[in-house]
Amino acid sequence: MSPANADSLQRTVLAAAVSIVASSGPDDVSLREVARAAGVSHQAPYHHFKDREGLFAAITEEGFSLLADSLHMSQSPTRESMFVAYVQFALRHPGHFRVMFRRDICNLEKYPDTLIQADRAFGVLADFVATTLGESASVDEIRLTTTYMWSVAHGLATLLLDGPLEKKIGDIPNVDEFVMNVARLATRALS
């Protein structure tokens, strides 16, 4: 198999796995099911992924890379825009998002390239926070602010994707506007 065909097969398998996770969650992913969804032989995924965890590591690596790029490319680097970029990433990439933070299905310590991308995504947010707080900010202040922004954005993203948010608060006619309003409220707490 030529390198181009191998890359194409790997992309096809990875896309099928991401699609399964997006529609029914990571617990429904098996390499056999991924092969069926990708329209390849049941052995094909094993050419690129040692096992299910290896497949999840690839999804996680790609997801953190996409997240880092989304945060980095935030339209105007403000606290609100970083918050919104995080939530929008989750809503646009649910197949990645539902895997990226699940240590029980992918131990990042076993996958150095994946860990590099996870650190890069966190680094974009931490660097932004450090810049916004200024040179006088302590390491603890940077860590706390970064953790606050990350956890609030992550919580909202999770509630919008998988939680009962709309059942509790009612219909959300404009999700983008809702996310921006929550971002404004969350960042007010940092002032």
Question: Residue 176 corresponds to which tokens in the numbers above?
Answer: 């983008």
Enumerate the domain spans of the chain. Answer: 1-49, 53-188
* Domains 1-49 and 53-188 alike in fold: no
pLDDT-based confidence at residue 77 (cuts at 50, 70, 90): confident
Three-state SS at 148? helix
**In the predicted model, is pLDDT for residue 35 greater than 90?**
yes
**In the predicted model, is pLDDT for residue 1 greater than 60?**
no
Residue type (1 letter), 6: A
**In the predicted model, is pLDDT for residue 94 greater than 80?**
yes
Fold type of domain 1-49:
Arc Repressor Mutant, subunit A (1.10.10)
77 against 155, higher pLDDT: 155
Fold type of domain 53-188:
Tetracycline Repressor; domain 2 (1.10.357)
Triad 86, 91, 97: Cα angle to 5°: 75
Q: Which DSSP symbol is given to 88?
A: H
Instruction: Determine the pLDDT at residue 190.
Output: 79
Mean pLDDT of 89-107: 96
Instruction: Determine the pLDDT at residue 6.
Output: 55
Report the candidate in 91, 83, 112 with the shortest Cα–Cα distance to residue 190: 83
**Is the distance from CB of 179 to CB of 88 less than 8 angstroms?**
yes
pLDDT in tens, 121-176: 999 999 999 999 999 999 999 999 999 999 999 999 999 998 888 889 999 999 99
What predicted TM-score, i.e. pTM, was given to this entire model?
Answer: 0.91
Instruction: Determine the pLDDT at residue 148.
Output: 94
Question: Residue 144 corresponds to which tokens in the numbers above?
Answer: 């706390």
Numbers of helices and strands, H then E, in the chain: 9, 0
**Is the distance from CB of 3 to CB of 11 less than 8 angstroms?**
no
CB atoms within 10 A of CB 16: 22
Residue type (1 letter), 41: S
Residue type (1 letter), 121: A
